[in-house]
Chains A and B, each alone.
Chain A
Amino acid sequence: MPLEISLSTLVQIVIWGLINGCIYVLLASGLNLIFGVMKVVNFAHGEFMILGGYVSYWVSIYAGLNPYFSIFVSIGVIGIVGVLTERVCFRRVLGTSKLNEIVLSLGLIYVLQNAMSVLWTDKERQISSPFEFITVHFEIININMRLDLLIVIGVTVLIMAGFYILIKRTKIGRAIRATSQNRSAAMLMGINVEYMDMFSFGLGTALAATAGTLLAILFPALYPQAGAMPALKAFTIIVLGGLGSTIGAIVGGLAYGLAESSAIAILGGTWRDAIAFAILILVLVIRPTGLFGEKEA
């Protein structure tokens, strides 16, 4: 049956892949930033994403704000939460041992997930968008698309453009890049690396909060356990796309989204989670340092 797929079906499957890819891009970019600067893998990144989704959810319900604007509130709140997490938890263990850092993020998964469960129960929620009932018709390929899907793509592009400019064109961006290239040299050049840690952690979690909001607008995926798997996948994406590479995270995220939707289409829904790790293991067997290697050990 999959062989008889028509063009519009194919286009649609590609679109689903790209839309999931947008979420992965946002998630992977944040994770990548944190890894680049601090050399820490934050497995709890997905929990910050879901937390961000909840913030937008409650803001859009209680303040009646358009969910796309509540992203800004969410970015602010989760950014601060991220900075606090860095100060209280990660800074204490930074440099002690890699294992401690990984297990710390595991502990944070438990704390955040279950705290969210206790506060808001396991019920799946979805942020209702004001454009819920609007669809756009594309004549050429004969498909209908929900307006929100287009907005989500647009928002992702905007956020990523802003992020790119911040990293490449501003002074603080240069400091971040310097710190991720060589921490001690950056310190010698008068950069406050601890401040960079805080800033990049906050920025990374803020990107995750954006991803969480967009995810919750598209899918009823707002429940405490929903973040664990996307975060792991985001990490496989940055491993594949090159640790520390911004473009790598973007390309990797989109490519991964596509791989996932084609895996569902060709192999079936069971393989959705497995496919990422199968690719990862294959790559790591061939190149133990990741597809693009590490700039610095």
Chain B
Amino acid sequence: MKTIQAVLGLIALVGIVSALVRYRAHRLSARAFWLWAGFWVAAGVLVFAPDLTTLLAHKLSVGRGADLTLYVGLLVGFYVIFRLYQRIENLERQITLLVREIALRKPRE
């Protein structure tokens, strides 16, 4: 086993355990849990069987396995940014609600 495989494998394991812990603590829906668990398991498998990416790449008409990994990585990156946007947007909404309550409670000028 190469060092990089050990490191990435450990990251995938931490990802799976983290998803499980969050699911058990009811901080993750069942759908989100299966999504994350599936992602980390797939990542773990691909770390130890990198040739699978080449096989998948050929099936999807992408030249090399490394390219496919990069594309999937980009998509996951976009998804994570979108989720972060949603979280920020939610915070913005909460701030607006707070500001609104303060505005409506104060005696009007």
Answer yes or no: are A and B bound together in one complex. Answer: no
Chain B residues in the interface with A (C-beta under 8 A):
none
Chain A residues in the interface with B (C-beta under 8 A):
none
